[in-house]
Structure 1
Amino acid sequence: MYVYAGCMTAEASPSLYLCEFHEEDGSLTLVNSYNDMSKTSYLVVDASRNILYVVGMDFENEGIAVSYIFNPDTKQLQLVSKQATLGKNPIYVSTDPDFTALFAANFTGGSIIALPLKPGGIMEDISCCISFEVHRIGFGSKNKSRPHSIVVDPTNRFVVVPDLGTDRLYIYEIDYAHHDLKLKQAIFVEPGSGPRHFLFHPTNHCAYMINEYSSTITIFTHDASQCVLETIQTVSTLPADFDEFNKCADIQLSACGKYVYGSNRGHDSIVQYRINEDGRLTYVGHVFSGGNKPRSMAVSPSGKYMLVANEGANHVASFAINQHTGELTPAGQLNLESSPICINFMI
């Protein structure tokens, strides 16, 4: 089983690593590395076709989306296609389940894009580019839109875009015929919270969002018929006695769907919550992330392990997941030359 880690680079260090994951003990070994980009911000895997889609920055600091095909015999990636994202610092990429469309969020550029995908991982020209307006708020975003993720809903009809800079959630309907996005609704969330990453629960009709600036997780009910979201709870990602600087990064579900995990950069921990029958959360505990600035997380296909990309420590930490309690126990780490900021299994 393979794992991809995207990184911020230093000098000539790689921005993308291919690693092998060993399910028997949760360890990782390095297989190959690539320096085609100056920064690999986020990635999504089409495992059935051995295709990898990534977004990041080229060596001129322009935003790009790149697709690769993986050869399992040689354990090598081959470049398939490349497209400019029409915006600075693309920070998130996603696709529909059938891999017919790609969606990306340009963080610094304040925009989102959509483009058609063809067989073999070929990306066609961008079909939709939406630039957000500058709105009010005086927090770290400096009054600018900062879309930080773009997530396809369970019906594959909508995408949800958390805008960290303006404390809004944008919901767009997907027009697959034209590979276009049509605004359905803009939702205001708590001022200064900095909505960042978002996920839908597969079975309980709820959704969960981690907020970077307020160090909280917001829980929504989700009416799938029209992608209607209603806030029902907000919980902290930090211990009650912690009052130092912190910014949240990623949010993940356990494979069983019973637990939510969030990463804290500052407290340098992973927080765990149990999901109740009504979708609300009950606190379980914290575990040290294994290094500073834990950013991205990924749960193994079996649900037995979690990987954490510790950006500030230049390594990926592995944790065993207790199958009865969801608690995390350190299982090892893989040191890298670069700073890992995104990670995903090839499943």
Structure 2
Amino acid sequence: MSADHGQRAFIGSFTSAGGHGITVADVDPDTGALSLLASTDTLADPSFLAVGRAPGTGGTVLYAVSETTDGAAAAFGVDADGTPRLIGEVRPVGGSGPTHLALAAGHLLTADYGSGGVTVLPVRDDGSPGPASGVLAHEGRGPDGERQAGPHAHQVLADPSGAWVLSVDLGTDSVRVCALDPGTGSLRLHAETRLRPGTGPRHLAFHPAGEHLYVLNELEPTLTVCRWDAVGGVLEPLGETPVLPLDHDEGGAGRTYPSEVVVSHDGRFLWTANRGHDSISVLTLDETAEKPLLAAAVGCGGRWPRDLTLDPTGQWLYAANEHSGNVSWFAVDGRTGVPAHAGSVEVPAASCVVFG
């Protein structure tokens, strides 16, 4: 497991596109700058990462999906020099193309985009995942014959109360609310909330107060605002907001495909990453948290921003720019929420950034 070396960033990338796999970097708290330390390509296409703790030791563990046809997940410790080290075995997830993963109730969950479902794997004392304890298959389709011919689970995460697991499905235009049994590792469907057909929901983020969440749509550059009832596990869509000006110029890049949504720690701002438009949008949130207002859009510091991450201090925003092969960081203006480009580092085929 890793020793305490201050703040570190972990970057995922596509090895099939020339990426180095999992890269570890030190973070300068004064400038937000990343200094690359080490990497490993032990796992193919670790496109999304999550940080947790080993139940037996409390040490830092880095979890990764393998976004391949076979689909897998693995755990890594991080040595003192930053070198990621595989813990236990690489585990099949029983689904194809996992794009996201999260921890909940002593289990690791993956969203399997290709096969359209969510896999549950128990976490062992050393932090490594055990064999899959269950797969909840999604069903349905959407109106886009090319992108929505079947279910495509794109994200899975626990709600702030820890009582529920939510999965976002681009193929079925819906968000599923599930209950996870910590004893058996089984996932039970509680409710499915339908969003507007053809929007292609990709990711969601909760407001820090826990009573609202925001679903970012990939097939249309819009954000769906929802009210969340953690007691009953009820998700209620309230309306949509564009994340780009209606007359925005694609700059010859074709359609815009939003990828990630982030909410500020104080709940005043929301940011989205927009592939194609290659920008970061800034939306302000009022006291109700129900009326996001588009305030600005700035360049992402590269091309095709696949992921957007706020550091733990809330001062720095990081964009993983897949096609330009770099991670850019931005200083967040505490008054307006507008990010100002502060630097970048080369990371081929970058796909996500997490902190731990």
Using structure 2 for the length normalisation, give the TM-score: 0.91
Structure 2 residue 167 is the aligned partner of structure 1 residue 161: yes
Q: Which residue of 2 aligns with 1:80?
A: 87
Residue pairs, 1:1-347, within 5 angstroms:
1-10=7-16, 13-46=19-52, 49-57=59-67, 61-71=69-79, 73-81=80-88, 82-96=90-104, 100-203=106-209, 205-242=211-248, 244=250, 245-280=255-290, 281-336=292-347, 338-346=348-356
Greater strand content: 1
Structure 1 residues not aligned, in runs of 5+: none
Structure 2 residues not aligned, in runs of 5+: 1-6
Q: Please give the alpha-carbon distance, in whole angstroms, between the structure 2 residues aligned to 1:294 and 1:12.
A: 17
Contact 1:151 / 1:199 at 8 angstroms: preserved in 2? no
Q: Please give the alpha-carbon distance, in whole angstroms, between the structure 2 residues aligned to 1:22 and 1:232.
A: 40
Contact 2:160 / 2:210 at 8 angstroms: preserved in 1? no
Q: Label 1:341 to 1:166 Cα distance change in 2 as closer, same or farther (>3 A).
A: same
Q: Label 1:150 to 1:13 Cα distance change in 2 as closer, same or farther (>3 A).
A: closer
Q: Secondary structure at the match of 2:47?
A: strand
Post-superposition offset of 1:129 = 0.7
Post-superposition offset of 1:202 = 2.1
Q: Letter of the 1:120 partner, please give it.
A: D
Q: Label 1:126 to 1:229 Cα distance change in 2 as closer, same or farther (>3 A).
A: same
Q: Please give the alpha-carbon distance, in whole angstroms, between the structure 2 residues aligned to 1:243 and 1:183.
A: 41
Larger deviation: 104-113 or 128-137? 128-137
Using structure 1 for the length normalisation, give the TM-score: 0.94
Q: Label 1:224 to 1:10 Cα distance change in 2 as closer, same or farther (>3 A).
A: closer
Q: Label 1:219 to 1:11 Cα distance change in 2 as closer, same or farther (>3 A).
A: closer
Q: Secondary structure at the match of 2:48?
A: strand
Aligned length: 340
**What does the per-residue CA deviation read over 1:228-249, in whole Å, with 9 as the maximum and x for residues that have no partner?**
1111221111112126411110
Contact 1:265 / 1:293 at 8 angstroms: preserved in 2? yes
Segments of 4+ moved more than 6 angstroms: none
Seq. identity, %: 26
